[in-house]
Structure 1
Amino acid sequence: MKRMMRGRGMAASWYGIARTATIDRAGAWAELDDGGTAKVVTGVTEIGEGILTLLSQVAAEELGIKPEQVTIGDNDTARSPEAAHAGATRQTYMIGNSVALACRDAKARLFEQIAELWEVPIENLRSFDGVLWAEHTNKRISMEEAVALCKARGVVPVGSGSFTAHGTGLDPVDGSGSPWQAYVFGTQVAEVEVDTLTGEVQVLGIWAAHDVGRAINPRGVEGQIEGGVVQGLGQALMEDYQTHEGHPVTHGFAKYILPTSLDVPQINCSIVEDPDPLSPLGAKGIGEPALVPTAPAVMNAIYDAIGIRITSLPATPEKILAALADRRAAQEGEPAPA
């Protein structure tokens, strides 16, 4: 056998987003404020996934202003509508849609007043980049002026929105049911090189294609996919969390190996946009789903390289060498080394 063996593997995945087997819900408030700016209040928590940037984009697009003109209020749940937890890949799907609906409600209040003042059909009004106008006319004003006119007529352009994702429990006998309203799908391909002398596995590249519904922030989506892949590489090859009778026996991070920048291969992302028909934004999400197919793809690539199936994670050099030794012993008719 050659010392360096290369292989490729593929794995596909699906992932249900939002809370499982129950109703998930979230709410938000939005207001067009003096100066043509906007503020949005929701109980969302930013944990590094970029949700505040995304919500600013959503609000700006729905209201017709610039993202930098949007202020996201604090997430104190004593002062904001319910948003629930940051998990289950639900932030874009639940909070994003709630903010979109709240902004549409606020904009409708503004448009009603401007349409009445200008004596034009409300469906002819448009707003974009801080400007409001009526199609087929020469009527055109800034959003700042529009808000001032609206408030002068005694109306504050404020709105609220609530989005619900419906799920059902699972039948205890046959498992039937509808635990999620929306699903995301993905496929990843891994190319690896296995050193049969040391047992080391080097991942040479990952190709990841994921359906995210509508990609509101494509760069953010790519970042989420890349982060999930890196986490998956750690799960596949390095991170060995050991327990004994329910108690952790891994001594610490000195022995719990994590991937570093030197371990990350080229990650090639392909974003598939299949809008969700039940989402006002058409968006789904891509948090946890990006992690799911990585380890299986790497395991399949190892099998393609050396012809041995590693059935437990992580695929450490010790496991690779032990598997190769077992195969040699079986081929030679000798007992495997202890």
Structure 2
Amino acid sequence: MQRKMRGRGVAASWYGIARTATVDRAGAWAELDDGGTAKVVTGVTEIGEGILTVLAQIAAEELGIRPEDVTIGDNDTARSPEAAHAGATRQTYMIGNSVALACREAKARLFAEIAAHWEVDAGTLVAFDGELRAEGTNLAMTMAEAVDLCKRRGVVPVGAGHFAAHGTGLNPEDGSGAPWQAYVFGTQVAEVEVDTVTGEVQVLGLWAAHDVGRVINPRGVEGQIEGGVVQGLGQALMEDYQTANGHPVTHGFAKYILPTALDVPEITSILVEDPDPLSPLGAKGIGEPALVPTAPAIINAIHDAVGVRIRSLPATPEKVLAAIAEKQARAAAAREAAE
């Protein structure tokens, strides 16, 4: 056997979005404000996934203004609609759809007043990049002028929106049911190099194709995928969290190996857009789903490279060497038996 062997592995996954086997829900408020700006109030919590940027993009597209003209308001749950937790890949799906619906209601109020002022059908009005116009006419004004006119007519262009995702429990006898309303799917391919002398596994490249529904922020989605892949790499090869009698015995991060920049291979993200038919935006989400197929793909690649199957994580050099030695011992025993 050569010292360094290469192999490729593939793994596919599915993931249900939002809270499991229950009705998940979220609400939001939106207002077109003076100067053609907008404010959105929701109880969403930003934990580093970029949801505030996504919500600003959604509001800007729905209202026809620029993202920089959108302010996302205080997320204090004493002063904002219910948003629930940040998790379960639900932020874009639940909060994003709520914000979109709230913005559509606010815009509808504005359009109704401008249409009455211009004496045109509200269906002919279009707003984009801070300007409002009536199609088929020369009528146009800035959103700042439109909001001012709307308020002078006695109407504040505000809206409220809520979105719900329905799930059911599972039948205890046959497992049937619909625990989630929407699902995402993904496939990843990993290429590894295994050192048969040391047992070290190096991931050379990883390709990740994920269905995320309509893509709101491509860079953000790629960042989520890359982050999930790095977590999966650590799970597959390094991170060894140990417990005894239900209590952690891993001492701390001083001896807990985490992937560093030197361990991360080139990651190629492929965004598959299969819009969700049950939501206003058609967007789904990507968070935990990016992590799910990474470790299986890496473990399958190790099997392709050296023909051993690692059945517990992480696949440390010691485990890989032991598996190779066991494989060689079985092969030697088989040869002796044949002779």
TM-score by length of 1: 0.98
Structure 1 position 164, deviation (Å): 0.5
Structure 1 position 125, deviation (Å): 0.3
**Partner of 2:222: helix, strand, or coil?**
helix
Q: Distance in 2 between the 1:331 and 1:87 partners?
A: 47
* Residue 10 (1) aligns with residue 10 (2): yes
**Partner of 2:323: helix, strand, or coil?**
helix
1:132-143 equivalence runs, <5 A: 132-143=132-143
Deviation readout 1:39-87 (Å, 9 max, x if unpaired): 0000000000000000000000000000000000011000000000000
1:153 is matched with 153
Structure 1 position 327, deviation (Å): 1.8
1:276 is matched with 276
Structure 1 position 325, deviation (Å): 1.4
5+ residue gaps, structure 1 = none
Structure 1 position 31, deviation (Å): 0.1
1:309 is matched with 309
Deviation readout 1:225-251 (Å, 9 max, x if unpaired): 000000000000000001111111111
Q: CA RMSD in A?
A: 0.8
5+ residue gaps, structure 2 = 335-339
**Partner of 1:261: helix, strand, or coil?**
coil
1:184 is matched with 184
1:205 is matched with 205
Q: Distance in 2 between the 1:230 and 1:286 partners?
A: 15
Q: Distance in 1 between the 2:109 and 2:62 partners?
A: 13
* Residue 29 (1) aligns with residue 21 (2): no
Deviation readout 1:88-128 (Å, 9 max, x if unpaired): 00000000000000000000000000001110000000000
Structure 1 position 330, deviation (Å): 2.2
Which amino acid letter does the alignment assign opposite residue 44 of structure 1?
A: V
Structure 1 position 324, deviation (Å): 1.2
* Residue 234 (1) aligns with residue 234 (2): yes
Deviation readout 1:160-192 (Å, 9 max, x if unpaired): 000000111111111110000000000000000
Structure 1 position 253, deviation (Å): 1.1
1:323 is matched with 323
Which amino acid letter does the alignment assign opposite residue 150 of structure 1?
A: C
1:74 is matched with 74
Q: Distance in 2 between the 1:151 and 1:53 partners?
A: 28
2:96 is matched with 96
**Partner of 1:333: helix, strand, or coil?**
helix
Q: Distance in 2 between the 1:227 and 1:8 partners?
A: 21
Deviation readout 1:249-295 (Å, 9 max, x if unpaired): 11111221000000000000110000000110010000000000000
TM-score by length of 2: 0.98
**Partner of 2:13: helix, strand, or coil?**
strand
**Partner of 1:6: helix, strand, or coil?**
strand
Which amino acid letter does the alignment assign opposite residue 183 of structure 1?
A: Y
Between Structure 1 and Structure 2, how many residues are aligned?
A: 334
Moved over 3 A (4+): none
1:291-306 equivalence runs, <5 A: 291-306=291-306
Which amino acid letter does the alignment assign opposite residue 72 of structure 1?
A: I
